[in-house]
């Protein structure tokens, strides 16, 4: 298969909010993709220090296009944070061939378990009922969902300016699947199932 490349960013302050910094890095990658259509859905995000407590002190970006990754690594935000002593940005390297495959999945169904989402769905149901002129029963949620371990990565939308959460899970994959990620470099439950190497530092 085609070679892959990666670069990592390590957050230097040991007690930083790693999820918040990951969200900022992912947002910069998202902006980079929007401005570079050939990068769209081709860059995957990996968390080499992921554990049950946090996404870890390092984020990695993985792609087959080395030059594109070099361009991403030189984004002004990353350079600024490096100059401020908050980030250490490493050079682009080739992915070793002996690593397992994982995917970091944005699981939007997790959000449905939270109160704010439930309120929004009930409100939409009431508006639909009002528009149709028929009385409709309120939706009843099956509350007994079992959710595997996840982390919350806060991010802002460039278009709407709204803040929201990327509910992210790590999933082991049996084999490499070609790059196919959402605009945040993550896999999804169904459509986007690209994998990244299981980098661990």
**In this predicted model, what pLDDT tens digit does every residue of 145-168 receive, in sequence order?**
444 789 999 998 766 678 889 999
Q: How far apart are CA 195 and CA 45, in angstroms?
A: 9
Q: What are phi and psi of 196, to 5 degrees?
A: -130, 160
Give a yes or no: residue 134 inside a domain: no
Give a yes or no: residue 158 inside a domain: yes
Domain residue limits at 99: 5-107+150-197
Q: Please give the C-alpha separations between residue 54 and each of 3, 20, 140, in angstroms, as whole numbers.
A: 29, 11, 33
Q: What is the pLDDT of residue 121?
A: 53
| Domain count along the chain | 1
Q: What is the pLDDT of residue 135?
A: 60
Q: What is the pLDDT of residue 30?
A: 94
Q: What is the pLDDT of residue 123?
A: 64
Query: What CATH number corresponds to the domain at position 166?
Result: 3.30.70.2540
Q: What is the pLDDT of residue 59?
A: 98
Give a yes or no: residue 175 inside a domain: yes
Give a yes or no: residue 126 inside a domain: no
Give a yes or no: residue 129 inside a domain: no
8-39: per-residue pLDDT in tens? 999 999 889 999 999 999 999 999 999 999 89
Contacts of residues 156-164 at CB distance under 8 Å and 24 or more positions apart, as own/partner, are 156/23, 156/27, 158/27, 158/30, 158/31, 158/34
DSSP letter assigned to residue 107: -
Q: Which residues of the chain have pLDDT under 50?
A: 115, 143-147
Give a yes or no: residue 187 inside a domain: yes
Q: What is the pLDDT of residue 164?
A: 86
If one counts every other C-beta atom within 10 angstroms of the C-beta of residue 96, the result is 10
Token pair of 84, please? 């401020």
């Amino acid at each position: 298969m085609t070679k892959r490349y990666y670069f990592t960013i390590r957050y230097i302050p040991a007690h930083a909010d790693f999820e918040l910094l990951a969200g900022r890095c992912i947002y910069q990658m998202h902006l980079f993709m929007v401005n570079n259509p050939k990068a769209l859905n081709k860059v995957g995000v990996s968390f080499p220090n992921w554990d049950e407590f946090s996404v870890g002190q390092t984020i990695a970006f993985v792609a087959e296009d080395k030059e594109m990754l070099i361009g991403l690594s030189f984004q002004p935000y990353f350079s600024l944070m490096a100059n401020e002593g908050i980030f250490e940005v490493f050079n682009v390297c080739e992915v070793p061939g002996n690593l397992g495959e994982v995917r970091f999945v944005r699981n939007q169904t997790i959000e449905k378990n939270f109160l704010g989402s439930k309120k929004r769905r009930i409100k939409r149901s009431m508006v639909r009922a009002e528009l149709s002129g028929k009385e409709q029963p309120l939706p009843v949620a099956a509350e007994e969902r079992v959710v595997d371990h996840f982390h919350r990565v806060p991010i802002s939308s460039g278009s709407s300016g709204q803040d929201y959460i990327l509910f992210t899970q790590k999933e082991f994959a049996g084999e490499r699947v070609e790059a196919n990620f959402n605009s945040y470099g993550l896999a999804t439950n169904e459509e986007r199932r690209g994998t990244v190497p299981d980098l661990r530092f």
